[in-house]
C-alpha cells in the first residue's frame, strides 16, 4: 500500500511512519547544503592568493550571503507553512548549486558578491528553516532529539566536504573545485527534496509521539501565537539576541579558523581538518545535547552551549600548536551542535507550531543571520588592521558571554 494511502485511526499504528523518510531526506539536504557552505574558509586562501583581495573584502561576500539568507529565510519559512518544504527546497537547491557553478568563473569582486553573496545566499535561505520547521511538525515527544538528529547533517557535511574540497583544490584548483561542488549540490538537493512532505496530514498520519491529550495541550498552550503576537513578547527579543550571539561566534570561527591555522604554519590539509573536527563534534553535540534537551529543556542546553563556546574561544586566543586547535575544535563543535539542535525546538516551545516557520524565519534573520553576517566581516577587518586574530577571538568569546546572560534571562511565554 503506498504511504499516501495509509490512514491512521486513533490508537492505531501505521505500517510505516513516513516521518523517518522526511528526517532522512532532511539530513541529506542539510549535509550537502551546509557541508558545501561551511567550506568557504577552505576557498578563502586560494582566493586571497589569486586576486590579492584583503580579508575584509572576501569576508564581505560571506556576510552578504548571510543577509540574503536571513531575508529569504522569512519568505521561505512562510512558503513552507503554506506549500511545504518540497517545492521550497527544490528551488533553493537549484539556486545554491547554480551559485557554486558561477563561482568557478569569478574574476572580479562584483562577481564574488553576486554569485556567492546574492545567489548562494538566497538559496541557503531555504535550507535551514524548512528543514528545522518540518522536523518539528513530524515529531512531538522527541522533538529536540529528532531535530538534533536531522541537523547532524550539518555536522556530517562539515566533517566531510571541507577536507574533500581542500584535496580537490590541491589536485586541481579552486575554480574546478567549485564547478564540481556546484554540480553535486544542484543535482543531489533537487532530487532528495522530492521526498519531503510538510506534515503528517499529507500522508494521513499523526506526528510521532503525539496523543490526543498532548495535542490538545499543545493547542491550548501555544498554538495561538502569530508572528505579530510573538513579536510583542520580551521572549521574542531575548531569544533573537541569543541567536545573534550564537551566529556571531560560530561563523567568526567557520570563516577564519582555517586561515588562523595556516598563519601559524599549519598545513592546508590539517587546517581543513580542524574545520572538519568542529563539524564532527557538532554531530555528537546535536545528538547528546538534543536528547538532553527533551529532558531538561532547550533553554538549559543553550546555557551549557554558551558556557562551552566562551571557554573554547578564550582558550583559542593563546593557542599556537595543532593539538591546542584540535582541542578547541572538539569543545566548540560539541557546544555548537547542541545549540543548533535546540534553536527550532526552543521557538516551538515559546510560540507553538501554527506560524513556526514564519516566526523561526524572522528570528533567524534578526538573530543568527545578522550575527553570522557581522562576525566574519568584523573579524576580517580586525585582522587587516592588526595582522592578528587574537582581538577578534576575544570579541567572539565576549559575545558568547553576552549570549549566556540573555539565555539566563529567558523565561517561558504565558499560556494563551
Highest mean pLDDT among 110-124, 252-266, 288-302, 358-372: 110-124
What is the percent of the chain where pLDDT is above 90? 41
> What does the pLDDT look like over 257-283, one tens digit per residue?
988 998 899 988 888 899 889 988 988
pLDDT higher than 50, residue 7 = no
Phi, psi values for residue 223, rounded to 5°: -70, -10
Helices 19-37 and 129-138 pack at an angle, to 10 degrees, of 160
pLDDT recorded at residue 199: 63
pLDDT higher than 70, residue 15 = no
Rounded Cα distance between 128 and 131, Å, is: 5
Rounded Cα distance between 390 and 238, Å, is: 28
Please tell me which residue, 164 or 294, carries the higher pLDDT value. 164
How is residue 354 written as a grid cell?
501554527
How is residue 81 written as a grid cell?
507553512
pLDDT higher than 60, residue 210 = no
pLDDT recorded at residue 183: 95
Which residue's C-alpha cell is 547554480?
98
pLDDT higher than 60, residue 53 = yes
Q: If you average pLDDT over residues 115-134, what whole number do you get?
A: 86
pLDDT recorded at residue 219: 45
CA angle at residue 365 from 367 to 105, to 5 degrees? 120
Helix ranges, 139-266 (H):
143-171, 174-193, 212-222, 227-231, 234-263
> What does the pLDDT look like over 298-325, one tens digit per residue?
899 999 999 999 999 999 999 989 999 9
β-bridge mates for residue 139, sequence order = 208
Please tell me which residue, 18 or 403, carries the higher pLDDT value. 403
Confidence (pTM): 0.76
pLDDT recorded at residue 86: 87
pLDDT recorded at residue 4: 41
pLDDT recorded at residue 8: 46
Pick from 136-145, 247-256, 312-321: least confident: 136-145
What is the percent of the chain where pLDDT is above 70? 88
Please tell me which residue, 77 or 92, carries the higher pLDDT value. 92
pLDDT recorded at residue 294: 74
> What does the pLDDT look like over 155-209, one tens digit per residue?
888 889 989 998 999 889 999 999 999 999 999 999 999 988 866 665 555 555 4
On whether the CB atoms of residues 335 and 312 are closer than 8 A, the answer is yes
pLDDT recorded at residue 330: 96
How is residue 53 written as a grid cell?
583581495
Domains observed in the chain = 17-210+220-409 (1.20.1250.20)
pLDDT higher than 70, residue 143 = no
pLDDT higher than 60, residue 1 = no
pLDDT higher than 90, residue 114 = yes
Q: If you average pLDDT over residues 23-51, what whole number do you get?
A: 89
Q: What is the mean pLDDT of the chain?
A: 84
The number of angstroms, rounded, from the C-alpha of 292 to the middle of its chain's C-alpha atoms is: 20
pLDDT higher than 80, residue 213 = no
pLDDT higher than 70, residue 390 = yes
Query: Measured in Å, how far apart are the chain's first and last C-alpha atoms?
Result: 41
Please tell me which residue, 80 or 266, carries the higher pLDDT value. 266
pLDDT recorded at residue 224: 62
Please tell me which residue, 221 or 372, carries the higher pLDDT value. 372
Closest CA to 329 of 272, 379, 289: 272
Give residue 222's pLDDT band: very low, low, confident or very high (50, 70, 90): very low
On whether the CB atoms of residues 243 and 299 are closer than 8 A, the answer is no
- Please state, as a whole number, how many other Cβ atoms lie within 10 Å of the Cβ of residue 415: 9
Rounded Cα distance between 364 and 352, Å, is: 16
CA angle at residue 76 from 248 to 131, to 5 degrees? 70
3-state secondary structure of 392: helix
pLDDT recorded at residue 310: 96
Please tell me which residue, 332 or 263, carries the higher pLDDT value. 332
pLDDT recorded at residue 142: 67
Amino acid at each position: 500500500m503506498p504511504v499516501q494511502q495509509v490512514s491512521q485511526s486513533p490508537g492505531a499504528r501505521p505500517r510505516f511512519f513516513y516521518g523517518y523518510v522526511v528526517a532522512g531526506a532532511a539530513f541529506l539536504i542539510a549535509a550537502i547544503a551546509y557541508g558545501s557552505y561551511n567550506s568557504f574558509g577552505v576557498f578563502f586562501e586560494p582566493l586571497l592568493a589569486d586576486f590579492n583581495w584583503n580579508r575584509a573584502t572576501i569576508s564581505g561576500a560571506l556576510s552578504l550571503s548571510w543577509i540574503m539568507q536571513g531575508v529569504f529565510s522569512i519568505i521561505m519559512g512562510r512558503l513552507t507553512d503554506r506549500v511545504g518544504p518540497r517545492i521550497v527546497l527544490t528551488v533553493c537547491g537549484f539556486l545554491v548549486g547554480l551559485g557554486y557553478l558561477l563561482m568557478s568563473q569569478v574574476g572580479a569582486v562584483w562577481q564574488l558578491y553576486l554569485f556567492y553573496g546574492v545567489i548562494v545566499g538566497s538559496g541557503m535561505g531555504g535550507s535551514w528553516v524548512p528543514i528545522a520547521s518540518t522536523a518539528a511538525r513530524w515529531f512531538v515527544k522527541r522533538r529536540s532529539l529528532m531535530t538534533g538528529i536531522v541537523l547532524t547533517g550539518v555536522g556530517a557535511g562539515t566533517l566531510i566536504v571541507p577536507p574533500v574540497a581542500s584535496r580537490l583544490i590541491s589536485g586541481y584548483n579552486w575554480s574546478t573545485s567549485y564547478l564540481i561542488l556546484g554540480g553535486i549540490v544542484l543535482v543531489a538537493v533537487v532530487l532528495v527534496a522530492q521526498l519531503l512532505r510538510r506534515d503528517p496530514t499529507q500522508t494521513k498520519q499523526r506526528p510521532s509521539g503525539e496523543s490526543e491529550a498532548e495535542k490538545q495541550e499543545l493547542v491550548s498552550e501555544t498554538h495561538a501565537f502569530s508572528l505579530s503576537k510573538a513579536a510583542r513578547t520580551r521572549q521574542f527579543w531575548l531569544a533573537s539576541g541569543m541567536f545573534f550571539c550564537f551566529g556571531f561566534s560560530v561563523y567568526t570561527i567557520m570563516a577564519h579558523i582555517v586561515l588562523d591555522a595556516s598563519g601559524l604554519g599549519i598545513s592546508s590539509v590539517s587546517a581543513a581538518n580542524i574545520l572538519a573536527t568542529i563539524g564532527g563534534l557538532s554531530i555528537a553535540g546535536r545528538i547528546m545535547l538534543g536528547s538532553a534537551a527533551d529532558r531538561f529543556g532547550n533553554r538549559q542546553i543553550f546555557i551549557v552551549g554558551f558556557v562551552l563556546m566562551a571557554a573554547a574561544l578564550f582558550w583559542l586566543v593563546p593557542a599556537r600548536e595543532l593539538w591546542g586547535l584540535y582541542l578547541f575544535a572538539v569543545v566548540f563543535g560539541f557546544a555548537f551542535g547542541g545549540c543548533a539542535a535546540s534553536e527550532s525546538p526552543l521557538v516551538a516551545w515559546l510560540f507553538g507550531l501554527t506560524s513556526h516557520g514564519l516566526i523561526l524565519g524572522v528570528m533567524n534573520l534578526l538573530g543568527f543571520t545578522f550575527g553570522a553576517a557581522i562576525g566574519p566581516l568584523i573579524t576580517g577587518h580586525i585582522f587587516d588592521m592588526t595582522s592578528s586574530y587574537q582581538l577578534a577571538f576575544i570579541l567572539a568569546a565576549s559575545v558568547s558571554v553576552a549570549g549566556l546572560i540573555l539565555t539566563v534571562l529567558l523565561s517561558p511565554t504565558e499560556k494563551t
